[in-house]
Amino acid sequence: MKNVPHTVTDAAVATIRERIEGGLYPVGSLLPAQRQLSEELAISRASLREALSTLEALGMLTIRAGKGVYVTSAEASSPHPWRFADQSSPPDTYQMRYALEGFAARMAALAIGDSDIVWLEQNLDTLHEALACDELDEAAQLDFDFHMRIVNIAGNAAIESILRSSADIMKESQRMPFYRRELVLSTHREHGLIVAALKARDCAAAGEAIERHIANAAQRAGVYFPTPPLAGSRSLHP
């Protein structure tokens, strides 16, 4: 089962990637003009450019200014080396987080207090500042603290112990998406949706928001893994 695209950009990435892998766009070929491709995929030029940048980060395309977009590989690769290959692969790491943190967020929505919400909102503001200033180490730590605060609120000591014992691996999985500079603020936006769901004490929305965030972060890091379809019926805006 393939990952279900969550945005028009994700859908465009999936479609173009399938065409490359299927040989419709062979290695060495020039993609159709962006105007033609955006019309064909029914997306904006901006969304198409974001999709092409994602595929370039995955090593499948090369964007040459003024010359077009060329297919360079029929296989995606992670743009940055994974330092913990002897312990856990990137897909395994993101899947573990998806499973454990989705449950924890649902539980946290039942137990969260006003002081927790204040802390999460302050973390959100500080994260935005760190990302805007390109302070990636600080941002990764803030990201880790944000997720672990939610796990702590959930009150499941076993889940918290598992994630804290894998702190370095978890932080690396949070830092990797930041290398996509044009999407660096996506984590802040997605954290905002998580906070909004927790603030509403909406268990289902909180779980879905954090699962969507982890799946999206994985994709920004060049990692794709199958996930169950999300309900998609909710639209939370902080």
Q: Report the alpha-carbon distance of residue 169 to residue 90 in Å, rounded.
A: 9
Q: What is the pLDDT of residue 209?
A: 97
Asked whether the predicted pLDDT for residue 78 surpasses 80, the reply is no
In this structure, what token pair is assigned to residue 212?
Answer: 């969507």
Asked whether the predicted pLDDT for residue 236 surpasses 50, the reply is no
**CA distance to 137, 147, 168, 173, 217, per residue, from 144 (Å):** 11, 5, 10, 10, 13
Q: Which residue has the higher pLDDT, 144 or 63?
A: 144
Which tens digit of pLDDT belongs to each residue from 86-135?
Answer: 888 888 899 999 999 999 999 999 999 999 999 999 999 999 999 988 88
* 58-62 contacts at long range (C-beta below 8 A, 24 or more positions apart): 58/17, 58/222, 60/17, 60/20, 61/31
Q: pTM (2 decimals)?
A: 0.67
Q: Report the alpha-carbon distance of residue 49 to residue 34 in Å, rounded.
A: 8
Q: Does domain 8-71 correspond to CATH entry 1.10.10.10?
A: yes
In this structure, what token pair is assigned to residue 35?
Answer: 């105007």
Q: Report the alpha-carbon distance of residue 61 to residue 64 in Å, rounded.
A: 10
Domain boundaries 90-220, CATH class: mainly alpha
Domain parsing of the chain, residue ranges: 8-71, 90-220
Contact 220, 180 (CB under 8 A): yes
Q: What is the pLDDT of residue 194?
A: 98
Which tens digit of pLDDT belongs to each residue from 154-197?
Answer: 999 999 999 999 999 999 899 888 877 667 899 999 999 999 99
